[in-house]
Amino acid sequence: METDNKLLEKSYLLSIYKLQVESLDLHLGLSTRSALDLADSIGDEVLGSADALERLRRNYTGHVLELRRINIELTCKMIERNMMLEAKETALVEQRARLASVSTQLSNVEAQHRQLEDQVEELSRKNSAVKAEYDTLRERYRCQDLEFRRVAERGLQLLKSIMRMKIEAAEHRNEKNERVRNARVSKELRKATRRPVGIEIEPEEAKAKEQQMAGRAVPEQESREKLWRRGLPSSVKKPTPAESGSGLGQQFIPLTLEPICGLSRSLFDFRLKRGNSASGPSEDHYCCVPSCTAACLPSTVSDHKEAHLSEINAIKFSPTSSMVATGGTDRLIRLWSVAGGHLEHTQTLEGATGGITNLDFDPSGSHVLGASYNNVAQVWRTGNKKCQEILTGHADKVTAAVFRSTRHQAVTGSRDRTVKEWDLCKGACSRTISVLSYCNDLACCDTTIVSGHHDKTIRFWDTRAPSCTQVIPVGGRVTSLSVSHDQMHLLSCSRDNALKVIDLRTHNIQQEFRAEGFQCGSDWTKAVLSPDKSYALVGSADGTLFLWSMETGHLERSLTGVHVSAVNAVAWAPSGMYIGSVDQCKKLVLWR
């Protein structure tokens, strides 16, 4: 670049030099011609006259003026060329400065380029190391996945083996009980053949009084008395009025072996119908459940607690309304005493293998059934913290679990698109119902199982029939089901932000509840009917509780200001005095 600049400067100086030479030659030419002309004039003047001298003087003056004019022009051209030279020198200086700046930028860019190349090489080395580590981890994952599959298959085989062993043990126990029962009956029959047996035959008046008092006797005594009377042979005659009038009106009639055998069979058949063997324990006596004639409308907060370590999914009152159970994703079930409108933690049921999705009390209130994310349902006794029974068999998380009429029967629903009936005496599944859509909630009547599904339908299953008996579309994914105490109406909640009341006698939608601001917060939002079937209650995604009147169909009231997140579930105490609500922010609220 510098060489080019020097060549340009030399070329410029050479052009100026040529221009000066041409100007000098021009002046010299003019001077020579003027001198020649002057000599000629002088010659002429010498030879001629004074006019020639005057002409010579005028010519000289003209030549001088012409030379001055040429000098002025050359001076102007020289000034212009000097100005052009200065401008070009200035431009050259600027170009040199720009060249220096560009050279500096080029050096910086080259340095950055070298630095980026170094970074690329470093990243390439790191990438190679990471890829090698990834290949190693992938190979380890493949090996561990194969091992996991083998362990899962082994676990499934063990589970099947355990279930088979439990079934065999139950059958063996039933056979043993049957042998014991037969031996006991034989022994009693042998004793009966050795001595006469008498039966009291009461007079008609005493019998009438006994019939009047029969309504106050316990059902078990009535059944046994009926079986006792049904076991008498037709050959035994009732005493005549004359016979009953003598003495105290009672007479003993000897029985033969055949009536005793029939009476014994009746007694043992009665116990078997109750679901127990002759040598097994007796049926639990259910506690007295308080009846609700008119539910109280909740208006104020009675108490509230931060009940769990994480989100709470389920809440359920005991049949006596003295206890409430809550279950959450922290794998705990906590029992709270409800006394005087205050919540007091009494017990924590441990051993859940996954987050709790649903809860239910048995009719006696002594057992709690919980569904969990870990594909199982579990049974606890309220006086014992440890789990008593684990119901395995579902292939996906269990979303619903409810007791039926007794604590010996339960029903579960799962996301694996099955509904299972369980015999809790054996701890085994007695029936599996396959459905096209996974189940979100369940409800049970006497002989009917109701299931709510993700495909926006409610299905009815008869426990005595193998197939579905009724399908009702509701317009949204079903999140909860609640049956009234008289088992005549069903309340459903769905993701179309509506509650629907279904008449179980006609299987038609009787009422539909909607309200501005109500939004179903999740696929497991639970709604409930009041014990007297006068109100429908549900929690919204914004933490508000909405209460509708079943009689008018209008929104009765809304409860706000306590929950700050979506309400997952609500429950109404069977006594009608309290309601409970739980949300996603670990809060349990008691209303009255």
Can you give the pTM of this predicted structure?
0.55
pLDDT of residue 36: 54
**Span 481-518, pLDDT tens digits:** 999 999 999 999 999 999 999 999 999 999 999 999 99
Where does residue 547 rank: exposed (0-12), middle (13-18), buried (19+ CB within 10 A)? buried
- Return the pLDDT at 255: 40
Provide mean pLDDT across the span 320-335.
95
Burial of 215 (0-12, 13-18, 19+ CB in 10 A): exposed
All residues at 6 or more sequence positions from 199 whose CB lies less than 8 Å from its CB, including other chains: 232, 236, 252, 253, 255
Task: List strands edge to edge, sheet with 409-414.
Answer: 398-403, 409-414, 418-423, 428-434
Select the more confidently predicted residue: 303 or 251: 303
The per-residue pLDDT of the chain, averaged, comes to: 81
Quote the crossing angle between the two packed helices 2-47 and 50-194, to the nearest 10°.
Answer: 170
**pLDDT at 161 (0 to 100):** 85
Q: At what angle do helices 50-194 and 257-273 cross, to 10 degrees?
A: 170
In this predicted structure, what is the pLDDT of residue 11? Answer: 62
The yes-or-no verdict on residue 27 having pLDDT over 60 is no
Which of 176-185, 418-427, 540-549, 581-590 has the weakest average pLDDT? 176-185
- Provide the pLDDT for residue 339: 87
Q: What is the DSSP string of 374-417?
A: TS-EEEEETT-SSEEEEE---SS-EEEEEE-SSTTEEEEEETTS
The phi and psi torsions of 497 (rounded to 5 degrees) equal 60, 45
pLDDT over 70 percentage in the chain: 75
- What are the tens digits of pLDDT across the range 55-105? 888 888 888 888 888 888 888 988 989 999 999 999 999 999 999 999 999
Inform me whether the pLDDT recorded for 261 exceeds 70: no
pLDDT the model gives residue 494: 96
For residues 481-506, one letter each, b for 16 or more C-beta atoms within 10 angstroms of the residue's C-beta and e for the rest, the string is bbbbeeeebbbbbbbebbbbbbebee
pLDDT at 386: 82
In the predicted model, is pLDDT for residue 529 greater than 70?
A: yes
Only one residue has tokens 């008289």, namely 486
